[in-house]
């Protein structure tokens, strides 16, 4: 059985999909781009973009009684591999060992021309 995850602090999906879906004890989150509570894209730096993404990630997790420690896998899409060092530095400030498994993939373009997008899987 699955259910869509929603809440007042969770950004609305930009299309016909859920921001996240809970299936059993596992939460699958769609890609989160750096859109703040007003709907504005934050693309001033990779660290600022990740800060907004993580705020959204934390809201999704909290809606299901979880936190960052429940994340087992992240997938990051980036419009440039040049963002990798800055991303790593910022990302490390959010997670503790053992870190989630992670992929970092360069893509040609992201929704709203975001610099980065991150999806994740979390387990209760």
- Average of per-residue pLDDT across 71-75: 98
- Average of per-residue pLDDT across 98-122: 98
Q: Which of 111, 109, 123, 120 is nearest to 56 (CA)?
A: 120
pLDDT given for residue 1 in this prediction: 86
pLDDT given for residue 112 in this prediction: 95
The structural domains of the chain, ordered by start, are 2-7+17-123 (3.30.1330.40)
Q: Considering the chain, what is the average pLDDT of its residues?
A: 96
Whether the pTM exceeds 0.75: the reply is yes
Contacts of 3 (CB under 8 A, 6+ apart): 21, 22
- pLDDT tens-place string over residues 40-55: 999 999 999 999 999 9
Question: Tokens for 11?
Answer: 């950004």
How distant is the alpha carbon of residue 60 from its chain centre?
Answer: 9
Residues 38, 33: Cα–Cα separation, whole Å: 13
Question: Tokens for 119?
Answer: 């999806």
Is pLDDT at 13 greater than 90 in this prediction? no
How many other C-beta atoms can be found within 10 angstroms of the C-beta atom of residue 51? 16
pLDDT given for residue 55 in this prediction: 97
- Average of per-residue pLDDT across 83-108: 97
Is pLDDT at 14 greater than 80 in this prediction? no
Under 8 Å between Cβ of 19 and 11: yes
How many other C-beta atoms can be found within 10 angstroms of the C-beta atom of residue 87? 21
């Amino acid at each position: 059985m699955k259910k869509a995850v929603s809440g007042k602090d969770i950004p609305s999906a930009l299309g016909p999909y859920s921001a996240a879906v809970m299936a059993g004890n596992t939460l699958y989150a769609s890609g989160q781009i750096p859109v703040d509570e007003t709907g504005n894209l934050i693309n001033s730096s990779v660290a600022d973009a990740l800060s907004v993404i993580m705020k959204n990630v934390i809201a999704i997790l909290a809606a299901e009684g979880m936190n960052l420690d429940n994340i087992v896998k992240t997938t990051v899409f980036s419009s440039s591999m040049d963002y990798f060092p800055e991303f790593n530095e910022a990302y490390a400030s959010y997670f503790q060992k053992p870190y989630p498994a992670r992929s970092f993939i360069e893509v040609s373009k992201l929704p709203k021309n975001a610099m980065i997008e991150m999806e994740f899987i979390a387990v209760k």
